[in-house]
Structure 1
Amino acid sequence: MTEPPLPAPDARRAELAANLARVRARIDAACASAGRDPAGVTMVAVTKTYPAGDVALLAGLGVRDVGENRDQEAAPKAAKVAAAGARVRWHFVGQLQRNKARSVVRYADLVHSVDSVRLAGALAEAARRQRQHPLEVLVQVNLDGAADRGGALVTGGDPGRRVAEVAAAVAGQDSLRLAGVMAVAPLGADPEPAFATLAEVAAGLRAEHPGAMVVSAGMSGDLEAAIAYGATHVRIGSALLGMRSTLR
C-alpha cells in the first residue's frame, strides 16, 4: 500500500500549530484542575517516525523539547535538525542498550530511561569521554513488573536494577546528573494508581537526592492524570504529530 504524500510545508505547519494549541489547552486545563502553574509542566514532543522537517517546524512554533526512542533514528535526525539551524533540547525516552551509550551522549540533553547500574556506568563513561557538561539522567521506574517494559523495580529483584541502587549509581558519577524519575503507565489499565505510585517513588528519591525534581510521566492519552499526580514533563506524540507512521 502506497503511503500518502507528505503535506506541503505550510499545510503541515498549520496542522502542527493547531495540534499544538489543543495539547497546550489540555495541559493548561489539567494544571488548573490540579491547582498547578502550567509553567511547571514541560511538553516533550515525541517525534519518532517523523522527519527532521517536522522538528524544525515545531521549533519554529516555539517547541524546545523533542523526544526520540531509537538511537538509529535519533542520531541522524538530530544532525539534520542542527544543520537546519533549529535549536532544540533532545530527550532520549526509549529503552537504551549499553552499546548505544557512546552515540546517545553526543546529542541527548536528558536520558529518561536509565534502569540499571550497568547502564548508568556505560553512560557515565561515554559522557566523561565525549561531553564537557554532565548528562542529565532520569531513573525509569517499572510500575507493573513487566520485564519487557523496562524500568527499575522499587523493591525486590536484582539489586543492580532497583530504583534506589540505580539512583545512587547515577548520583555517584561526576559525568551524570540525577534529575528525577520517568515511568510509563501500564497498558490497558487506569493510569491513576500507577502515577500515584510514581509520585511516592519520586518523593522518596527527592528525600535522598534533593535535586532530583523531574517527574516524566504521561503521554497523549493520559497527560491529565499524570499532571494531577505531579508530572513535570509529559511526552506527547500522536496528539501533536498525528498518526502518520513512516519516517520520511
Structure 2
Amino acid sequence: MNAPASAAQLDRRAQLAASLARTRARIADAAEAAGRTRDAVTMIAVTKTYPASDALLLAGLGVRELGENRDQEAAPKAAEVAAAGVDVRWHFVGQLQRNKARSVVTYADLVHSVDSVRLAGALATAADRLRDRPLAALVQVSLDGDAERGGALPDRADADRGLSPVAAEIARHDTLRLAGLMAVAPLGWEPERAFARLAEVAAGFRVDHPAAGLLSAGMSGDLETAIAYGATHVRVGSALLGMRSTLR
C-alpha cells in the first residue's frame, strides 16, 4: 500500500499541474496558429537536474514523454521510475559520448543527438547486444556550421560529421531506426532564423528519407516559433519544472 502523500509532495504536484496546463495551452495555441492540430506536436518534459519524484509526479499527471541530457543522471532516474512500475518513454536529448552508448540504449526510446557516423555505429553495436527492438534516432543538425557545438553538418562532405553520411549510417543498421532531425537554436540567433533554417534542411532531408519525418526543435522560450516551422517534438524544461538547478 502506498504511503500517503506529504504536504510537500501535494504542493509540488499542484505546481507541476499548473505549469503543465499553461504549457499545454501554449502548444495548442501555437499549433492552431500554424494551422496544425494539437496532436501533431509532442511535448517532452525535460527533467534534467530534477529528481525522479518529479518525473513520477508528471507521469501521474499524464505526461509520458520524458527527456534527459546526461547519462549519469538519466540512467538511475530511469531505473527508479521503472522500479515504481511507471511506464514512460525516455528521450536522450543531450550530446552523447560514444562510451555512454551501452548505457543509453538500455533505457532510451529515442536518441535526439546523433551527430557522427562513429556515434551511430556505437549505438547500433550496443543496441544489437542489449535491445530486442530497434532504437529510434534523430540526426542532430548544426544550423550555424560550428562543429565544436555539436551537430551534423548539412552542407559539408565530411565522412564522419556530414548530415548525409550520418543519416546513411543510421539507416543501414537494423538495430537503429532513422526517425528525423533535431536542432538547437545557435547562441545569438533569433528563433525565427534558426527554425527557418532547420525547416529548409528538413525539406531537403525528407526527399531522401521520406519516412524520417520527426523534427525535434524548440524549448521553453521558443516553442511557438519552432511549432510554426514544423516541429513535431518540443523539449520543455523550465516552463514545466521551474529553475531549480540541483537534484534534491
The percentage of counterpart residues that share the same residue type is 73
Secondary structure, counterpart of 1:109 in structure 2: strand
Cα distance in 1 between the residues matched to 2:26 and 2:187? 21
1:197 aligns with 2:197: yes
Amino acid across the alignment from 2:71: D
Amino acid across the alignment from 1:165: P
Give the total of aligned pairs: 243
Secondary structure, counterpart of 2:90 in structure 1: strand
Cα distance in 1 between the residues matched to 2:233 and 2:52? 22
1:68 aligns with 2:74: no
Runs of 4+ in 1 over 3 A off after TM superposition: none
Structure 1 match to 2:21:
21
Unmatched segments (≥5 aa) in structure 2: 1-5
**Deviation at 1:160?**
1.2
Structure 2 match to 1:119:
119
Cα distance in 1 between the residues matched to 2:208 and 2:112? 19
Give the TM-score, by structure 2 length.
0.96
Structure 1 match to 2:54:
54
Note the aligned Cα RMSD (angstroms): 1.2
Unmatched segments (≥5 aa) in structure 1: 1-5
Secondary structure, counterpart of 2:160 in structure 1: helix
Mapping of 1:1-248 within 5 angstroms?
A: 8-156=8-156, 158-248=158-248
Structure 2 match to 1:3:
none
Cα distance in 2 between the residues matched to 1:142 and 1:7? 45
Amino acid across the alignment from 1:64: R
Cα distance in 2 between the residues matched to 1:159 and 1:153? 10
Give the TM-score, by structure 1 length.
0.96
- Deviations 1:98-155 (Å, cap 9, x if unpaired)? 0000000000000000000000000000000010100000000001223332100111
Secondary structure, counterpart of 1:178 in structure 2: strand
**Deviation at 1:62?**
0.5
Secondary structure, counterpart of 2:45 in structure 1: strand
- Deviations 1:61-85 (Å, cap 9, x if unpaired)? 0001000000000000000001112
Cα distance in 1 between the residues matched to 2:75 and 2:215? 25
Amino acid across the alignment from 1:127: A
Matched-pair contact (CA < 8 Å) for 2:115–2:161: yes
**Deviation at 1:156?**
2.1
Moved more, 63-72 or 148-157: 148-157
Secondary structure, counterpart of 1:54 in structure 2: helix
